[in-house]
Amino acid sequence: GAGVSQSPSNKVTEKGKDVELRCDPISGHTALYWYRQSLGQGLEFLIYFQGNSAPDKSGLPSDRFSAERTGGSVSTLTIQRTQQEDSAVYLCASSQQGDSGELFFGEGSRLTVL
Amino acid sequence: KNQVEQSPQSLIILEGKNCTLQCNYTVSPFSNLRWYKQDTGRGPVSLTIMTFSENTKSNGRYTATLDADTKQSSLHITASQLSDSASYICVVTHYNNNDMRFGAGTRLTVKP
């Protein structure tokens, strides 16, 4: 596709369940980022993938959060044993040049934990 | 304390009027400063990106300015339209580690 694609666009789950959020970056973009945006708040960095380098996981809030990027393309963010405070919009962005390049964001996945 | 502070938190203006949004930062040294527009329920879209050596960048009715000495940036919107209603986010990238710091955004509402 022409842009960053995220799925699902909306996810409602029960507390304690695991969820997986998917991000398809723009083809050829080597850098991929995950952010979390709570209602009315700024973007919170979660994790950063750049090419074949080890990901920067410094933003992951707990060990319930993990992410992988297969084949340098599609990424999956997994949240285990979801809690109500995990409710937020999870945004994925990709860039051709890492941090020096323009970031292209997906539309986000809205997660609601009941 | 957030390294990128935006003001005002929210702003309401009438269609056709101009407005200026502020971004103050403490990130130092920095490599670039970006402004994004985020419509409700959508992902942010880039408006401008300025390196530390640039002091102004325009994109249609949007003009961003940068004063690296005072560590301030502003986004000026001219002849506002209803479609300008959105959150505007300032992002500053650290020069040494490429760490990006996001402001909390300014929520702009343009009324007819």
Tens digits of per-residue pLDDT, A43-53? Answer: 899 999 988 88
- The answer to whether A55 contacts chain B (CB < 8 Å) is no
Out of A41, A99, A105, the one facing B93 most closely (by C-beta) is A99
Encode burial over A11-31: b for 16+ CB neighbours within 10 A, e otherwise: bebeeeeebebebbbbeebbb
The length of chain A, given as a count of residues:
114
In the predicted model, is pLDDT for residue A98 greater than 70? no
Q: For residue B27, which phi and psi values (nearest 5 degrees)?
A: -60, 125
Q: How high is the pLDDT of residue A70?
A: 84
The verdict on a CB contact (< 8 Å) between A41 and B104 is: yes
**Among A38, A48, A54, residue whose Cα is nearest residue A86:** A38
Encode chain B (112 residues) as per-residue pLDDT tens digits: 579 999 999 999 999 999 999 999 999 888 899 999 999 989 999 999 999 899 999 999 999 999 999 999 999 999 999 999 999 999 998 887 778 889 999 999 999 9
Q: Give the gap in angstroms from C-alpha A112 to the nearest C-alpha of chain B.
A: 14
Alpha-carbon gap, residue A102 to A104, rounded angstroms: 6
Are A75 and A4 in contact, with CB atoms under 8 Å apart? no
In the predicted model, is pLDDT for residue A1 greater than 60? no
Alpha-carbon gap, residue A110 to A10, rounded angstroms: 5
Q: What residues does B88 pair with on adjacent strands?
A: B37, B106
Interface test with chain A among B100, B101, B106, B107, by most A beta carbons within 10 Å: B100
**Among B30, B3, B35, residue whose Cα is nearest residue B97:** B30
Q: How high is the pLDDT of residue B99?
A: 81
CA B40 to centroid of chain Cα atoms: 16
Q: What secondary structure does DSSP assign to A12-40, as a single string?
A: EE-TT--EEEEEE--TT--EEEEEEE-TT
CA B64 to centroid of chain Cα atoms: 7
A100 or B4: whose pLDDT is higher? B4
The verdict on a CB contact (< 8 Å) between A91 and B43 is: yes
Q: pLDDT digit string (tens) for A42-88?
A: 889 999 998 888 899 989 999 999 999 988 799 999 999 999 999 99
Q: How high is the pLDDT of residue A99?
A: 55
Share of chain A above pLDDT 90, in %: 73
Q: Give the gap in angstroms from C-alpha A108 to the nearest C-alpha of chain B.
A: 6
Tokens coding A64: 């319930």
Q: Give the gap in angstroms from C-alpha A89 to the nearest C-alpha of chain B.
A: 9
In the predicted model, is pLDDT for residue A100 greater than 70? no
**Which amino acid belongs to residue B77?**
I
Q: How high is the pLDDT of residue B1?
A: 59
